[in-house]
Amino acid sequence: MNSEKSGKKRGFFITFEGPEGAGKSTQVAMLLDFLKKNNRPAVTTREPGGTALAEKIREVVKGHDGNEKMHDRTELLLMEAARSQHVQEFILPRLESGVSVICDRFSDSTIAYQGGARGLDKDDILFLNRFAAVGLVPDLTFLLDLSPEDGFARTRKRSETAGQFDRFEAEKIDFHRTVRRSFLELAEAEPERIKVIDAARDQRSVHEDIVRIINEFI
Ligand code: TMP
């Protein structure tokens, strides 16, 4: 976006947020397609994950260990460890070479899940988010908003096929209501960056809204 020393334009950093089952991965793929068709180099990635090491952390943090409870602070630090690796190894080099990065979840998820739903201190999370992301903040964030009930109606099918709910999907509905509320509060506080999209509609309509916003933005 801003001119670098080399004169090359930095890529856009676009993130998708929202509850389980909001259709983020579909919309991420559709946006990638749209940008490529418009001759804008772009890649997609996800959090936690996005590099070999960060994907290993993803397995640990989403998985169940029957014998040992994962403490909330441990969960937070694993999310941030994965982010630190992802940002430095994958995201920043691409942005700097002019490629846009579309990321399925980023720091707002940490505020909504570990802050809102787990109840960890928001200032601690803001500090750790900044530290792990080396100060990187998304240029634009799409919040795909959906009730937990609707989200679960979609993910249950997927999880049943996969055989198990991950640690987050297994949380009670109240946890997911708090996550949704936290996301909406974030969007209210940062309306320029975070665009709320009604994700209860069909994929095509959701994509059209996203394209409209992207066209105004780029
Ligand atoms: P998903 O990629 O399938 O949505 O799974 C990622 C899960 O991890 C999801 O339940 C949200 C959770 N999560 C956090 O709790 N904090 C975070 O910072 C991130 C990136 C994800």
Q: Name the band, by pLDDT with cuts 50, 70 and 90, for residue 2.
A: very low
How far does the centroid of ligand 1 lie from the alpha carbon of residue 86, in Å?
Answer: 14
| Range among 147-151, 166-170, 184-188 with highest mean pLDDT value | 184-188
Q: What is the pLDDT of residue 1?
A: 41
Q: What is the pLDDT of residue 59?
A: 97
Q: Name the band, by pLDDT with cuts 50, 70 and 90, for residue 3.
A: very low
Residue 110 Cβ inside 6 Å of ligand 1? The answer reads: yes
Rounded distance between C-alpha atoms, residue 82 and residue 87, angstroms? 9
Residue 34 Cβ inside 6 Å of ligand 1? The answer reads: no
How far does the centroid of ligand 1 lie from the alpha carbon of residue 7, in Å?
Answer: 36
Q: For a pocket test of ligand 1, which of 109, 130, 146 has the largest count of ligand atoms closer than 8 A to its C-beta? A: 109
Q: What is the pLDDT of residue 8?
A: 74
Residue 109 Cβ inside 6 Å of ligand 1? The answer reads: yes
Q: For a pocket test of ligand 1, which of 105, 120, 165 has the largest count of ligand atoms closer than 8 A to its C-beta? A: 105
Q: What is the pLDDT of residue 152?
A: 87
pLDDT digits (tens, 9 = 90+) for 37-88: 999 999 999 999 999 999 999 999 999 887 899 999 999 999 999 999 999 9
